[in-house]
Amino acid sequence: MVKIAVYGKGGIGKSTTVSNVSAALAEMGYKVMQIGCDPKADSTVSLHGREHMPTVLELVRKYKNDFTLEDMTARGYAGVICVEAGGPTPGLGCAGRGIIAALEKLSEKGAYDVYKPDVVIYDVLGDVVCGGFSMPMRGGYADQVFVITSGENMAIHAAANIAMAIEGFKGRGYAQLGGVILNRRNVKDEEAKVKELADDIGSEVIACLDRSDTVQDAEEIGKTVIEAFPESGMAEQYRTLAKKLMEVCGVM
C-alpha cells in the first residue's frame, strides 16, 4: 500500500490537485482512498459530489462510537473512497487534535483492512505543522510527503516550514520528503523561486501545473478536471503528476 501525504498553504490548490490525482490513479486501476485532514472538510467534494458528507468528528460527537465504517466514507468518482476528518465545534477544541482522533478512528474501524486500498492520500492543511497536523507524517501513516506551492512568498514560506518539520522528524520513522509540486500562479520569476526553494530544502520540483481556466470550469460544476474534461491538457497534467508520485514512491 502506497501512503502519501500532501501538504501546502491553505488556498494553494492542494485539494483540487489531490482530488485530480486520486481520480487519475483510480482511472489507472488503483484502489484509492483520499482522506481530507482540513477542518473545512471540503477535500473530497469534487469526487463524491454531495452537498455534505458526515465527517468523522461529526459522527463521533453525535454517536460516540455507535456508527459504522460505511457511515464515515463515501464512494466517489471511479470508486475513490472519500473520508473527511472534519474539525472541532467552532471555538471549542483543537483542529490538530481532531485530525488525530479521526485517523485513530479510521484505524479502529478497520478502514485499511476492509477497503484494502492500493493508495492512500492524506490532504493536509500545511500552514503549520505541529501536533495533529503532523499526524499523517508519522510512522504507520504516510511514507512520502509532497509539498504544493506557488511562487508567492507566503506559499514558499509555508512550504519551507513544512520541509523544516519533515527534517526535524527525521530518525523517528516519519515520512520522507518526496518532492515539491509547483502550482503556478504566474507571479514573477515563479519557476526560479520554487526551484531555489527546492534546492534549499534538498529536494526537487517534480511537477509544474499550469494556471488554467479549465480547473475553475470543473469546480463550477462540482467535478474534477479528470471527470469533467478528460481530454483537456490539464487532465493530462494531472495524470502525469499521478504517475510521477507513484514513481517517486517506487511503484512505477
Q: Residue 104 belongs to a domain with what CATH number? A: 3.40.50.300
* Catalytic, out of 40, 42, 71, 243: 40
* Catalytic, out of 3, 9, 193, 244: 9
189 is catalytic: no
Q: What is the pLDDT of residues 177-207, one digit of tens each?
A: 999 999 999 999 999 999 999 999 999 999 9
Q: Is the pLDDT of residue 110 over 60?
A: yes
Please state the rounded mean pLDDT for residues 1-16: 93
* Catalytic, out of 3, 14, 223, 244: 14
244 is catalytic: no
Percent of the chain with pLDDT over 70: 92
Q: Note whether 82 and 74 are within 8 A (CB).
A: yes
Q: What's phi and psi for 160, nearest 5 deg? A: -65, -40
Number of domains in the chain: 1
- Which DSSP state fits 79? G
The vertex-36 CA angle with 232 and 212, nearest 5°, equals 25
State residue 99's pLDDT score.
79
User: Domain residues for 231?
Assistant: 2-248
Please state the rounded mean pLDDT for residues 83-100: 71
Q: What is the pLDDT of residues 39-56, one digit of tens each?
A: 888 999 999 988 788 999
| Location of C-alpha cell 488556498 | 11
9 is catalytic: yes
State residue 24's pLDDT score.
98
pTM beyond 0.85: the answer is yes
* Catalytic, out of 42, 118, 127, 217: 127
Buried b (16+ CB within 10 A) or exposed e, 99-114: bbbbbebbeebebeee
243 is catalytic: no
Q: Is the pLDDT of residue 93 over 60?
A: no
Residue 133: pLDDT band (50, 70, 90) is low
Indicate the helix (H) or strand (E) that contains 209. strand 205-209
Could you tell me the three cell numbers for 198? 527546492
Report which of 142, 58, 39, 148 is spatially closest to residue 99, judged by C-alpha positions: 39
Helices 153-168 + 190-200 axis angle, to 10: 20
